[in-house]
Amino acid sequence: MKKFFGAIISLALMMPLTNTLQAAEIMRCSHPLPPNNHIAKVIDQWAAEIETLSENDIDVQINGANSLVKAPRNAAAVRAGELECAFSNNSQWTESFPLMDITLEPFALRNVDILKKWRGSPAADLLAQQIADTGLTNLTWLFTTWRTAITSKGRHIIKPSDFQGLRIQGLGSISNAAFEALGASPVDMSDRQAYEALKNGDLDAGLTNVSSALSAGYYQVQDHVTILPLFTFFYNGYVNSIWYNALPEKSKQAIKDASARAAVWAIEASEISAAAAPKLLKDEDMQIHIATEPEIEALKNIMRPAFNKKFLETAGPSGSELIKLVDEM
């Protein structure tokens, strides 16, 4: 009998712990980045911060490298409630939400000080509201860099005339319009696809951020790179609004605070990665050219009007307001 009552008491003592473990809210989150990517590491840090700030009331389960959902389906999967959270980059929004291409406006977000102003800016708030209208709540903007790398073989791509007839990696129809205005022929593809195309001679030039020129191995198939503040790429994190709105206030605040910190961490990590990349590319025998202000102006005078025209045609009534807000930054 004593053993029986002892077992009952032990079970009763274990029940609060069991209930606590069961009470943790599962937050499954998908992103397309490989684990060694600096933004992927920021996402892992963000997840750990949410768990810490929520006192483990939220269990954030990160699924990177397209292991849970393929990148093009992330937003739809979160909206449908198949998972709670995801991160997508500009190009993955282009067809369904072209306003997100605004950070690809040529030479607009051209330094780190502008990126630091992005969170909470009228431009960011306009996009967040548009995202909210689709059933998603935007949490954070993780910028990869403001330094663009145009890779090539045998020569640098610098002047507008250098782009004539050039088969270059593309980032979607809006961004492509800027390169078409220079006489180039953009072909949309990921960095992984571009590497293979460059290797096989199906593409003449790569177009990526300077950190990815290193991490994606562009130096293995190209020997020249021009670095310039052409565009800014981001991964924005978002959640299902119904799921998020049902959370206790403590959990919501933990997510908000961790997301605000992650935006800062991403800029810091991207600056460190981008600052180191040119020397590392040079060590891999790439010829480096940093675009000068006159060279930037020559490209901007052709590229920005073409980009803005296509953006306004594609992005809908909010397009002109968004361009104005970004240009004011």
* pTM to 2 decimal places: 0.87
Helix or strand (DSSP H, E) at 279 = helix 249-283
CATH top-level class for 20-98+114-143+234-273?
A: alpha beta
Report yes or no: 169 and 186 within 8 Å, Cβ to Cβ. Answer: yes
pLDDT higher than 50, residue 74: yes
pLDDT in tens, 264-277: 999 999 999 999 99
AA identity, residue 275: A
pLDDT in tens, 13-62: 444 444 444 579 999 999 999 898 899 999 999 999 999 999 999 999 99
pLDDT higher than 90, residue 194: yes
Pairing assessment for the beta strands 85-89 and 25-30 based on DSSP bridges: parallel
Q: Where are the domains of the chain?
A: 20-98+114-143+234-273, 148-231+275-328
What share of the chain has pLDDT > 70, as a percent? 93
Report the 10 Å Cβ neighbour count for 23.
Answer: 9
* Token pair 């700030």 in the structure block, residue: 53
Question: Between these two residues, 22 and 301, which has the higher pLDDT value?
Answer: 301
CATH top-level class for 148-231+275-328?
A: alpha beta
How far is residue 319's CA from residue 219's CA, in Å, rounded to a whole number?
37
Helices then strands (H, E): number in the chain? 13, 11
Tell how far CA 103 is from the center of its chain.
11
Mean pLDDT of the chain: 92
Record the tokens describing residue 23, joined without a space. 């009470």
pLDDT higher than 70, residue 2: no
Tell me the CA distances in angstroms from 299 to 54, 56, 91, 102, 269, one per residue in order: 48, 50, 22, 18, 28
Mean pLDDT of 285-313: 97
How far is residue 117's CA from residue 275's CA, in Å, rounded to a whole number?
20
Report yes or no: 151 and 284 within 8 Å, Cβ to Cβ. Answer: no
Mean pLDDT of 180-206: 96
Detail the DSSP E strand segments found in the chain.
25-30, 58-63, 85-89, 136-145, 148-152, 167-170, 185-188, 206-209, 224-228, 233-240, 287-290
Closest CA to 239 of 257, 256, 260: 256
Mean pLDDT of 147-169: 98
Question: Between these two residues, 174 and 92, which has the higher pLDDT value?
Answer: 174
pLDDT in tens, 215-238: 899 999 999 999 999 999 999 999
Tell me the CA distances in angstroms from 90 to 100, 242, 282, one per residue in order: 6, 24, 28
Fold matches, 20-98+114-143+234-273 and 148-231+275-328: yes
Give the SS3 label for residue 62: strand
pLDDT higher than 80, residue 281: yes
The whole-number pLDDT of residue 6 equals: 47
pLDDT in tens, 80-132: 999 999 999 988 887 789 999 999 999 999 999 999 999 999 999 999 999 99
The whole-number pLDDT of residue 150 equals: 98
Interhelix angle 293-315/173-180, nearest 10 degrees:
130
DSSP 120: T
